[in-house]
Structure 1
Amino acid sequence: MPPISLPPTPRLVIYYQTLHNPDGTPCSILPIITQPGIAVSHVNLAAIHLNDPPGNITLNDHVPSHPRYHTLWAELRVLQASGIKVIGMLGGAAKGSFTRLDLDDSTFEEYYIPLRDMIRERGLDGLDLDVEEPMTLAGVIRLIDRLKSDFGSAFIITLAPVAAALMSDNPKHNLSGFSYEALEVMRGSQIAWYNTQFYCGWGDVSKPDGYDYMIARGWPAQKIVVGMVTNPGNGSGWVPFEIVQEVLLTLKARHPGFGGVMGWEYFNSLPGDRERPWEWAAFMTRIVRGRLPAATEAPVATSNGAAEEKPNPFLLADGDAKAKSEAPLPAEFDYYTDGSLEE
């Protein structure tokens, strides 16, 4: 089939980590191109881990070449042939990958080169850096620079900060340790967008305030992708569809170039759940990649026409204007790996 021609924004990003059903059969991603009315732009394959010793790389719990992934790699090539970009997700809740890449230059090379070779072997279109452990600004810049040097300007580099990290420059308000504002100043031209986590206590997708505040702080709308959980079982902060729809339509109307949405994760996305997980993508296609109804226009302005100065919705405590001293910790929940508990 010929590649699908999609506009650059709004993006529709799906995280794909649970790769197998409970019976061990592959959880196919192909319905996002075979079912009607779906225009996914990017699939983020999760999660790549760099383990000890150097060169010990796993995709979730197994090496990328494991026979259980043969169907996966074949399906991802079909997605790419259909115009969808496939991006690897490095890191996530399992810590260690970025700690290893944040050491001295010699050690960095030992861990980085096998990662580079894996990206080449699998033909990935980019890498999503989900830094959920302390890392230095110099360390993440070194990694970005090497990726661009090795793969060229067309290689997609994204990051996945919690929403609070783009509302405050205080490192306590993110999981990565470094300042995302400083990173944007120094390497923003090399970063395609931010898959921003509006869930687990770090953001709220039930209202537009958080996104509005990021834009007021100077973040470009086209670089902020609104991340949400696709099922209450995937983390706290799930919001019903009728509310999400109004919020997304409002953001599209207010912010030309709105960056899009991402969903964590594919396998059990509502409303179809495990039986029809592609229905979430169909719903989001209609909302974020469809035509914007004129009735949703909702400009943010005061009565005298001046732009409204909004308070930080993350830092404000409930019912008062006292700033929180630290970011709330996400509620405990299980990150699914590949859905099969028995080997």
Structure 2
Amino acid sequence: MKKLFLALLLVALAAPPAQAATQKRTVVYYQTQYSNGATGTYVSPKPLVDRNTGVTDVLVAAIHLNDNRIVHLNDHPPSHPRYAQMWQDLAAMQARGVNVIGMVGGAAPGSFQRLDTRFAEYYPLLRDTIRTYRLNGVDLDVEERMSLAGIRRVIDQLKADFGAGFLVTLSPVASALRGGGNLSGFDYEELYRSHGSKIAWFNGQFYNGWGNAGSTAHYDQIINRRLIPANKVVLGTLTNPANGGSGHVSTATLRNTVTSLKTKYSDFGGVAGWEYFNSLPGGTAEPWRWAADVTAMQR
């Protein structure tokens, strides 16, 4: 009886199963949980489902594995009271079929160096965070040098620990997917050759000079290399020109690009937006409108 009870408990605590995309993906990065700084207003992601935007995936950013072996979500541990409402809202979104994915890394360095060189110390911190917050997957945003063997080991262990349905995505700059430069130190095409079956998709960064979402040209260059298929390449865009650099395109221009891509590629992977809280055209008052517009473009 004791073994049966433990087995049932583990099932109850498991994350909801990741949802297979039945439409083109509408992916939203969610890093700014409070507008106007630490004392600002809480920015809930829940309107993304309450307004029926068609969002498929919310990427909660950014998880850091700090050198004191303490996990942070941005500037605080994920257990901090400031995140209590956020975790409740995300769980409600999961219950309605949205995948909640933790984004690891990003512009702040260190997490992947530690996973690369001190795996036995730091990987369990990531594993336990995934379990505690019942994440459907992780997005590995490697913006520092890491070995190819190191990223393969992380992916292999994630799939071993969480199963085939657990989503592992990566967020390289778009040029890395067409044989060009990248920020990660390893070759993404080599990674795909060995681990493509374990990678759910890539959120390619088509902005900041690494790619352009103003036309299909850079996306086409990736697909024309005949290695990574279109269903694994999501067009990553800026939702607002204030969000981290150059390359923002207007809604009208993005619509033209997406319309062309879905015509060229029946299995086009979808669109991702960095980031949620001030997404145009709704801005901070109605940031959910970006996701609704993107979903409509893809139908």
Once the two structures are superposed, the pairs formed by residues 255-270 of structure 1 within 5 Å of their partners are 255-270=265-280
- 1:204-229 deviation per Cα after TM superposition (whole angstroms, max 9, x unaligned): 00010111111110120100000000
- The residue aligned with 1:162 is 173
Label 1:7 to 1:134 Cα distance change in 2 as closer, same or farther (>3 A): closer
Paired amino acid for 2:106: G
Q: How many residues align?
A: 278
- The residue aligned with 1:24 is 40
Paired amino acid for 1:250: S
Extract structure 1 runs of 4+ deviating beyond 3 A: 5-9
- The residue aligned with 2:208 is 200
- The residue aligned with 2:10 is none
Match of 1:209 among 217, 220, 236: 217
CA distance in 2, matches of 1:269, 1:25: 16
Once the two structures are superposed, the pairs formed by residues 211-226 of structure 1 within 5 Å of their partners are 211-218=219-226, 219-226=228-235
CA distance in 2, matches of 1:50, 1:63: 10
Post-superposition shift, 1:25?
2.7
Higher helix content, 1 or 2: 2
- The residue aligned with 2:264 is 254
CA distance in 2, matches of 1:6, 1:185: 23
- The residue aligned with 2:190 is 182
- The residue aligned with 1:331 is none
Contact 1:201 1:237 in 2 (8 A): yes
CA distance in 1, matches of 2:35, 2:188: 36
Once the two structures are superposed, the pairs formed by residues 66-81 of structure 1 within 5 Å of their partners are 66-81=80-95
SS at match of 1:285: helix
SS at match of 2:168: strand
- The residue aligned with 1:229 is 238
Contact 2:238 2:273 in 1 (8 A): yes
CA distance in 2, matches of 1:248, 1:21: 30
Paired amino acid for 2:164: S
- The residue aligned with 2:122 is 111
CA distance in 2, matches of 1:281, 1:175: 27
Contact 2:65 2:125 in 1 (8 A): no
Bigger-Rg structure (1/2): 1
The normalised TM-score by structure 2 is 0.91
CA distance in 2, matches of 1:114, 1:159: 19
5+ residue gaps in structure 2?
A: 1-16
CA distance in 2, matches of 1:21, 1:177: 33
CA distance in 2, matches of 1:217, 1:251: 16
Contact 1:9 1:259 in 2 (8 A): no
5+ residue gaps in structure 1?
A: 291-343
Paired amino acid for 1:162: V
Match of 1:285 among 271, 284, 295: 295
- 1:113-155 deviation per Cα after TM superposition (whole angstroms, max 9, x unaligned): 1211111010000000000001100000000011011111111
- The residue aligned with 1:65 is 79
- The residue aligned with 1:131 is 142
Paired amino acid for 1:69: Y
Post-superposition shift, 1:9?
3.9
- The residue aligned with 1:339 is none
